[in-house]
Amino acid sequence: MTSLALSVLLALVSAVCYAAGAILQEHVAATTPRLAAAPLRRGSWWAAVTLNGTGAVLHVIALAYGPLSVVQPLGALTIVFALPMAAIFVRRRVGGSGWRGALLATAGLAGLLSLTGTSRAQSLAEQEGVWLIVITVATIAVLAGAARLMRSPVIRSVLLAAAAGTAFGVSSVVTKNVAVEWTWDAWQDALPGLVTIGLLASGGVLLSQASYRGAGLASPLATATVVNPVVATAVGIAALGENFRHGTPGTLLALVAALVASTGLVMLTVHNAEAEAETEAAAGEDPVAVAEAPAAPGHDGHDATGGGGGPEDPEGPGGSGPHAVPDAPAGPAEPGTPLLLPQPIPRQPTSEDDPGPRLPECGEAVLQHHA
């Protein structure tokens, strides 16, 4: 096997590991309570972290055996691998628009990475490194803060995934910077960079885990997968002397590729938002059924014979509804048990001095028990 074939194989296995890790993360997010430390108690979450770490190691090894222009675009296949794997293993179906969005995001990212050129090894100056960390932390804070203000789970997940991709991208830049400056005689000088890498990578993992809650798999995964290399490429061009291949035409093609990738992300976001709306509509209560449900007598704390808010009679054989009048009682009423009627009945005269039938006062008419 040639070195090129080995690098391609390693890059493909790396993409599969990333996809499997993302599927496990999304599954943990969907089945874990909303607690900050809840995923840490799940073995499947640690399996996802292990898969992501394995994917990162295999990607670095692939870069050692093959050119950057081949290995980096293959990493974008994570999105393409994740969708069928999710359909097979966790039965998460993706519609046609979701597939189109994923393919556009993958194609745009692959084109962008293939046009990114390389340059001689160059490290960040100390002042540039400080400013990079400050800007990165501020960007992540803004994205995470905006995500907390969003009511839509889809928009919130995209913002959190963008923050995770930013953390991963800058972590890659710092990793490269440490690798360029590394010397075994002065390894202590690399400790600040190693600590920064650990903090950024840990923050990226936690942010990506939060991005999968309530938004499915495709949209947050595609966002993080695209933002990660885009941020790293932007920093490389701005601070490390990197550029796009083929001069001005290559730069224009890179912009087109970035537009294609962005279109794919928008399609995925809209697709997930529509799916969320359909799910909420299907899970909502039927207002007609709620309106027809009979209220229990005395629910307002009063006796069924009267009180504030007006009494409601139970359903009887003469009809249905709260105001139905029974045709005839099923049997003699218990002594002292009043029965409200919708219309008052006249009181019969009891003596010669009684002026005649009259209407009783409100609530006075009852049916008395006859022995």
* Average pLDDT value for residue range 246-263: 86
Torsion of the alpha carbons at 128, 134, 137 and 140, rounded to the nearest 10: -80
Q: What is the pLDDT of residue 161?
A: 92
**Tokens matching residue 121:** 């090894």
Rounded distance between C-alpha atoms, residue 367 and residue 98, angstroms: 69
Q: Which of 213-217, 218-222, 300-304 has the lowest mean pLDDT?
A: 300-304
196 within 8 A of 175, measured Cβ to Cβ:
no
The span from the CA of 218 to the CA of 89, in Å, is 15
Q: Are 73 and 114 in contact (CB under 8 A)?
A: yes
The neighbour count for residue 232, using CB atoms within 10 Å, is: 25
Phi-psi domain of 181 (left: phi exceeds 0; alpha: psi -120 through 50; beta: other): alpha
Confidence (pLDDT) at 301: 45
The percentage of the chain sitting over the pLDDT mark of 90, rounded to a whole number, equals: 13
**Which residue pairs from 46-52 have beta carbons closer than 8 angstroms and sit at least 24 positions apart in sequence?**
47/21, 48/20, 48/21, 48/22, 48/24, 49/21, 49/205, 50/21, 51/17, 51/18, 51/20, 51/21, 51/24, 52/17, 52/18, 52/21, 52/205
Range with the largest mean pLDDT of 71-75, 224-228, 292-296, 355-359 = 224-228
Phi, psi (5° rounding) for residue 294? Answer: -70, 140
> Contacts by 184-193 with C-beta closer than 8 Å and gap 24+?
193/129
Is residue 121 very low, low, confident or very high in pLDDT (cuts 50, 70, 90)?
low
Please give the torsion angle defined by the CA atoms of residues 232, 234, 239 and 242, in that order, rounded to the nearest 10 degrees.
90
Q: Render pLDDT for 265-275 as a digit per residue (tens, 0 to 9).
A: 888 777 767 76
Q: What is the CA radius of gyration of the chain?
A: 35
Least confident of 77-91, 93-107, 289-303: 289-303
Would you place residue 346 in the very low, low, confident or very high pLDDT band (cuts 50, 70, 90)? low
Res. 159 pLDDT band, cuts 50 70 90: very high
Mean pLDDT score, 73-82: 80
Q: Is a pLDDT exceeding 50 seen at residue 303?
A: no
Overall size of the chain counted in residues: 371
Closest residue by Cα to residue 241 from 109, 124, 73, 67: 124
Is the pLDDT confidence value at 132 over 70?
yes
CA distance 128 to 133: 9
| Six token digits for residue 190 | 């690399």
Task: Please report the pLDDT score of residue 353 as a whole number.
Answer: 59
Please say if the pLDDT value at position 43 is more than 80: yes
Q: What is the spatial distance between Cα 325 and Cα 290, in angstroms, rounded to a whole number?
A: 23
User: What is the arithmetic mean of pLDDT over 280-297?
Assistant: 52
CA distances from residue 361 to 49, 325, 364 in whole angstroms, order as listed: 78, 20, 5
CB-based contact 217:23 (threshold 8 Å)? yes
Mean pLDDT score of the chain, rounded to an integer? 75
162 neighbors 143 (Cβ within 8 angstroms): yes
Question: Looking at residues 202-221, what average pLDDT do you find?
Answer: 84
Confidence of residue 144 (pLDDT cuts 50, 70, 90): very high
More confident residue, 14 or 308: 14
Q: Tell me: pLDDT of 365 over 60.
A: no
Concatenating the DSSP letter of every residue in 242-300 gives --BTTHHHHHHHHHHHHHHHHHHHHHHHHHHHHHHHHHHHHHS--HHHHHHSPPPTTTT
DSSP one-letter string for 295-363:
PPTTTTSS-TT--TT---PPPBTTB-STT---SS-SSPPPTT-----SS--PBPP-STTS---BPPPTT
